[in-house]
């Protein structure tokens, strides 16, 4: 069985949420898609989106199915207020998680034990893209094999 990427599970949790989709549509990814010239899926600078990636130093342990790490969350928006709205929607989602939950990834069902904010967010401008964003960090604990009661 292939290893479930914990970031893929987090991205799926976000993209499956109705409130998140209302704000960002399908623009939830592990890498931004702003500068993809000619691509019909390229993101525009005035569109809100979410990018989630492992924080530096987070290394999944491929020998066990339990992943503990830290994820960097970049919430982009056309204005600082739009970026903050995306971030606040993620906070509401994380606070509403009823203990454990699952996320169906392309490699299987992940059991998300926890996803909690780990640091205060900050508002800035992406230095490469010149787009407003709010950056936050969250700790996660995700297991590769969901219990039957959660599937």
Of the pLDDT bands very low, low, confident and very high (cuts 50, 70, 90), residue 149 is very low
Q: What is the pTM of this model?
A: 0.89
Q: For residue 14, give the 3-state DSSP assignment.
A: helix
Q: What is the CATH number of the domain that holds 109?
A: 3.30.2000
Residue 70 domain-assigned (yes or no):
yes
User: Would residue 62 count as lying in a domain?
Assistant: yes
Encode pLDDT of 126-146 as tens digits: 998 999 999 999 999 998 765
Residue 108 has a pLDDT of 83
Q: 59-108, pLDDT tens digit by residue? A: 666 667 788 899 999 999 999 999 999 999 999 999 999 888 999 888 88
Report d(CA 133, CA 66) in Å as an integer.
Answer: 31
- Please state the domain count of the chain: 1
Name the band, by pLDDT with cuts 50, 70 and 90, for residue 17: very high
Distance, CA of 142 to CA of 116 (rounded, Å): 12
């Amino acid at each position: 069985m292939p290893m479930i990427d914990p970031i893929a599970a987090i991205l799926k949790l976000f993209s499956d949420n109705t409130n998140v989709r209302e704000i960002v549509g399908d623009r939830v990814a592990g890498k931004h898609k702003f500068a993809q010239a000619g691509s019909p899926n390229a993101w525009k600078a005035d569109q809100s989106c979410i990018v989630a990636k492992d924080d530096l130093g987070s290394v999944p342990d491929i020998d066990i199915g339990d992943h503990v790490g830290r994820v960097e969350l970049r919430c982009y928006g056309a204005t600082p207020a739009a970026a903050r709205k995306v971030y606040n929607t993620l906070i509401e989602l994380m606070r509403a998680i009823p203990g454990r939950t699952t996320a169906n990834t392309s490699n299987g069902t992940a059991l998300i034990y926890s996803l909690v904010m780990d640091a205060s967010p900050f508002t800035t401008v992406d230095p490469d893209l010149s787009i407003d964003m709010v950056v936050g960090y969250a700790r996660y604990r995700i297991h590769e094999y969901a219990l039957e009661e959660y599937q």
